[in-house]
């Protein structure tokens, strides 16, 4: 860890976030490529060789679940989720800060509840096996705490500036 000054800590956190984002982007890209390849393999096997590859459909489904949950965090990073904030943006700055702080608090609370709640599904998944591969369902279920945990990080990072400096939010508001 750096010497301990606040600028060193901020620099360290920014670097860690950049590494996390690169890792998530890479995993999402691999999942998408795998999903397309597995389904293509299934199609070729079924229609050209009259042979169905059962595990390819199952693993493609698992990849899609992981991709969807990680993709929610990626979309949050680019502020691509739907939100209605026209009234908040027209309000005075103190009201904007209060509404945004309430939104951040409720959002963090909800996502934290989902992350913690999904851990019980992972533990149940250690018992249940997948139909085709017979692997523990904990692996696909792990997408819930990991995906929502990443979403929570991106949500907090995206929302914090709206509280600290709502007047600098650059999103256009229709007249």
Query: Residue ranges per domain, the chain?
Result: 6-168
| pLDDT tens-digit readout, 44-61 | 999 999 998 889 999 999
pTM for the model stands at: 0.86
pLDDT surpasses 50 at 70: yes
SS3 136: strand
Percent of the chain predicted with pLDDT > 90: 72
DSSP 46-85: HHHSS---HHHHHHHHHHHHHHHHHHHHHHHHTT-S----
pLDDT digits (tens, 9 = 90+) for 73-129: 999 999 898 888 888 888 898 998 999 999 999 999 999 999 999 999 999 999 999
């Amino acid at each position: 860890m750096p010497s301990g000054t606040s600028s060193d800590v901020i620099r360290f956190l920014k670097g860690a976030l950049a590494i996390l984002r690169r890792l998530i982007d890479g995993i999402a890209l691999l999942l998408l490529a795998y999903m397309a390849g597995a389904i293509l393999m299934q199609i070729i096997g079924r229609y050209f060789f009259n042979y169905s590859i059962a595990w390819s459909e199952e693993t493609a489904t698992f990849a899609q679940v992981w991709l969807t949950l990680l993709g929610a965090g990626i979309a949050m990073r680019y502020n691509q989720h739907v939100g209605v904030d026209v009234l908040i943006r027209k309000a005075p700055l103190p009201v904007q800060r209060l509404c945004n702080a309430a939104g951040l608090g409720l959002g963090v609370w909800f996502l934290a509840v989902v992350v913690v709640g999904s851990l019980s599904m992972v533990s149940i998944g250690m018992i249940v096996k997948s139909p085709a591969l017979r692997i523990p369902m904990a692996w696909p279920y792990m997408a819930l705490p990991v995906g929502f945990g990443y979403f929570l990080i991106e949500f907090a990072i995206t929302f914090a500036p709206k509280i600290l400096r709502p007047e600098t939010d650059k999103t256009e508001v229709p007249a």
